[in-house]
Structure 1
Amino acid sequence: MTTRSSAQNSTSSAWTRSRPRRPWTFRLNSREPFRSPRTGERVMLTASRLVLARKRRRMTLSSLANKSGISVRSLTAFENGHKAPAPETMETLAEALGLPLAFFAAPDVEEIELDAVSFRALSKMSALDRDSARGAGRIVVEINDWIERSFGLPEPDVPTLPHLSPEDAADRVRALWGLGEAPIPNMVHLLESHGVRVFSLAADCASVDAFSFRWKRTRPFIVLNLEKSGERGRFDAAHELGHLVLHSEHRIPHGQEAEQEAQQFASAFLMPRSGLLAQRLYSADARRILSAKLKWQVAAVALTYRLKDLGLITEWNYRTTVKQLSQMGFRRSEPGGIPRESSQLLSKVFATLRTQKIPVSRMAEEINLTVEELNLHVFGLVPTVVDGGGEMTSPAARPNLRAV
């Protein structure tokens, strides 16, 4: 018999609070079919989807014109809805943008508002980087909509505490979620258990560390860069939770002050004051910090900074320890670090599809994506299998996803 920590128990129980769901149904896009020269499908262009696809691919009108051979003037007319492309032209655009024809014929899409997204150093980002990440975020919303139609998921349980200090807000969230002062076993699983939709950032958006937003001011999303270390990924997840908690109502979630507050929240959330005091890390040197970081699963330098912030080590000790850690390779990376956290919710989605003999290609088809594009946003969890031609089945009710 095993004993789980209070954090694990809280994470597990939160998965059971989802609302009753309608029966699991699988519906293809209800819009009228389109025809292409090769397949006989009728083509209809939704202008906003062409804009989304171009931005997602980090292209200007000029670069798309160069790749597709279609003039900038025609592309501008297509995106403004002033001109409809011929079927052959639509196929050329779909090929250039690497998305199915169905993507461009699906219903209108609304962009994520820039002021709703927690981009770091926004003023230093290029318009292409910013728009590509926002495009990826909008595709993530489409993926999540499909999952919510098919599965019972935990309802959002993320408080908004804009009037509290980052330290107090972190303590309040820990108390509300029943975490006590214990280390958090898995940040991604914890977030998912409280209704945060966590997805991965496509590799072609690598210039962005992570970002978060509340879609329609209600559904919280966090998108994480998988190129970071496991420790950095946990801190990024906590950082974005800080934005959702502190900056989701009347405050814009970017800018220097907002970033500093999110950093302070993440530090306090992952390394609570009471927990560090109980570990007796007064005047800790590099050796003790490297030992303690294994318990809290954070970067060595981040733990050192937290100890300084709490007054457990002096400024001189902080500078000396950081210099020693840097010489050991802990400034730019995390030698011998923890594995990158992944999504438990998405793993269960794909496991259920396999159980029901539903090919992932059908899921991608209903979201109007290629399987390759889908995989970029779901932690690379799409299994590589040969479609055996299994028929789709419809269980009596949508499965509720629970932590094990």
Structure 2
Amino acid sequence: MLTPSRLTLARTRRGLTVAELAHKSGVQARAIGEYERGVRTPLPATVESLAGALGFPTGFLMADEPPRPQNAPPDEQVTAAAQLAIEFNGWLERLFVLPQPDLPPPRTSPQGTRDAWRLADWPAPNMVQLLESHGVRVFSLPVDCAGHEAFCCWHNGTPLLFLDPSSTPEQARFDAAVQLAVLLGHDEPREFAAEFLMPQRQLPGTDHRHWHVGREQFTRWANVHSLVEGGMTRRESSKLLTKVFRVLRENGTTPAHVAKALHLGLEELNGMVFGLVLTALPGGGEPGPGGRARLTLVH
């Protein structure tokens, strides 16, 4: 049976209006609206037509109610992408013991955060891996959402961060620090990010490339959209997701089977990890025996 909210989720994920979906699927717009409101139940053949037009497996439209993140952005397509990532994270948490959230108290200063995480005055390490090691789940927005600024949200006490797949390596690093500030409730997240990445007392006489940031960040200019390349050759990658897919593959479970378990296409799964895992995720193979592995991250 169709789950009404999942039809809405699939439609908004594809960036379609009800009228556009009606045109693609051959199903009347009024009927689609009624299906989404739950006042009418479609026939199985109609569900298949809708799923085909949306590019989702039929099972996606019949699965459980999707999660709703707290503090989601107003863009419905981006929020839908975040919902799919939250479902993926829930699937991971059922199989693996992942790092628990370990953020300092709200409004902790940049230096206080560095001290709590034992960074001293050294450059902050890989920001993606640093955040993951403290329980923040880091995902990429899919390529069709490129250009949307990075954002963070919460779901069931877990912080999640989403990066723009089109950003430069320096910008992605700075964006991650900005979103850390947002998670901590700071009113000036860019100032926090600049100080967190580059403590002021370490700036004199230091080359900005030493800190893996752009010149504008180094000189503390605020506009992140005008960053200048500073020497990073590739985006920071995810240690957690790399470990996850390695362990899964060692147990005979391929990304294609992960996508199938989530009622997604492999391309959708790839979009969540774009730029975070060094290679695209191939399909094929058969799933092996289950089990709950413990993943620990050392930074």
TM-score computed with the length of structure 2 as normaliser: 0.92
Q: Alpha-carbon deviations, 1:83-136, whole Å to 9, x = none?
A: 1111111111111111111111111124334xx13x5xxxxxxx6xx0111111
Q: Could you tell me how far 1:62 is from its partner in structure 2?
A: 1.4
- d(CA) in 2 for partners of 1:236 and 1:332? 11
Residues 342 and 391 (structure 1), Cα distance of their counterparts in 2 relative to 1, 3 Å cut? closer
Structure 2 residue identity aligned to 1:222: L
Match of 1:40 in 2: none
Q: 1:242 and 2:181 equivalent? A: yes
Structure 2 residue identity aligned to 1:233: A
RMSD of aligned C-alpha atoms? 2.3
Greater RCO structure (CA 8 Å; 6+ sep):
1
- d(CA) in 2 for partners of 1:391 and 1:242? 40
Other structure's SS at 1:368 match: coil
Match of 1:9 in 2: none
Matches within 5 A, 1:305-324: 305=220
> Given the alignment, which residue of 255, 268, 272 partners 2:195?
268
Q: 1:102 and 2:46 equivalent? A: no
Match of 1:85 in 2: 42
Residues 385 and 238 (structure 1), Cα distance of their counterparts in 2 relative to 1, 3 Å cut? closer
Unpaired stretches in structure 1, ≥5 consecutive residues = 1-43, 120-126, 248-257, 282-290, 310-321, 323-329
Other structure's SS at 1:246 match: coil
> Given the alignment, which residue of 178, 181, 192 partners 2:132?
192
Q: 1:179 and 2:74 equivalent? A: no
Other structure's SS at 2:160 match: strand
Other structure's SS at 1:223 match: strand
Match of 1:145 in 2: 90
Would you say the 8 A contact 2:150–2:163 is kept in 1?
A: yes
- d(CA) in 2 for partners of 1:236 and 1:386? 31
- d(CA) in 2 for partners of 1:47 and 1:184? 45
- d(CA) in 2 for partners of 1:194 and 1:368? 29
Match of 1:59 in 2: 16
> Given the alignment, which residue of 101, 116, 119 partners 1:156?
101
Residues 383 and 206 (structure 1), Cα distance of their counterparts in 2 relative to 1, 3 Å cut? closer
Structure 2 residue identity aligned to 1:174: R
> Given the alignment, which residue of 263, 284, 297 partners 2:212?
297
Q: Could you tell me how far 1:385 is from its partner in structure 2?
A: 4.0
Would you say the 8 A contact 2:7–2:36 is kept in 1?
A: yes
Match of 1:393 in 2: 289
> Given the alignment, which residue of 98, 111, 136 partners 2:68?
111
Would you say the 8 A contact 2:68–2:155 is kept in 1?
A: no
Match of 2:145 in 1: 205
Structure 2 residue identity aligned to 1:150: L
Residues 55 and 157 (structure 1), Cα distance of their counterparts in 2 relative to 1, 3 Å cut? same
Would you say the 8 A contact 2:255–2:282 is kept in 1?
A: no
Other structure's SS at 2:97 match: coil
Q: Could you tell me how far 1:76 is from its partner in structure 2?
A: 0.5
Matches within 5 A, 1:206-245: 206-216=146-156, 218-245=157-184
- d(CA) in 2 for partners of 1:109 and 1:299? 39
Structure 1 residue identity aligned to 2:184: V
Q: 1:344 and 2:271 equivalent? A: no
Q: 1:367 and 2:262 equivalent? A: yes
Question: For the pair shown, which has the larger CA radius of gyration, 1 or 2?
Answer: 1
- d(CA) in 2 for partners of 1:336 and 1:391? 41
- d(CA) in 2 for partners of 1:359 and 1:150? 14
- d(CA) in 2 for partners of 1:112 and 1:200? 16
Other structure's SS at 1:146 match: helix
Match of 2:4 in 1: 47
Would you say the 8 A contact 2:243–2:295 is kept in 1?
A: no
Q: Could you tell me how far 1:48 is from its partner in structure 2?
A: 0.6
Residues 335 and 170 (structure 1), Cα distance of their counterparts in 2 relative to 1, 3 Å cut? closer
Other structure's SS at 2:152 match: strand
Other structure's SS at 1:108 match: coil
Would you say the 8 A contact 1:200–1:223 is kept in 2?
A: yes
Other structure's SS at 1:305 match: coil
Other structure's SS at 2:139 match: strand
Q: Alpha-carbon deviations, 1:107-166, whole Å to 9, x = none?
A: 1124334xx13x5xxxxxxx6xx011111111110000011111111110012424x6xx
- d(CA) in 1 for partners of 2:144 and 2:283? 27
TM-score computed with the length of structure 1 as normaliser: 0.69
Unpaired stretches in structure 2, ≥5 consecutive residues = none
Q: Could you tell me how far 1:383 is from its partner in structure 2?
A: 4.8
Q: Could you tell me how far 1:386 is from its partner in structure 2?
A: 5.5
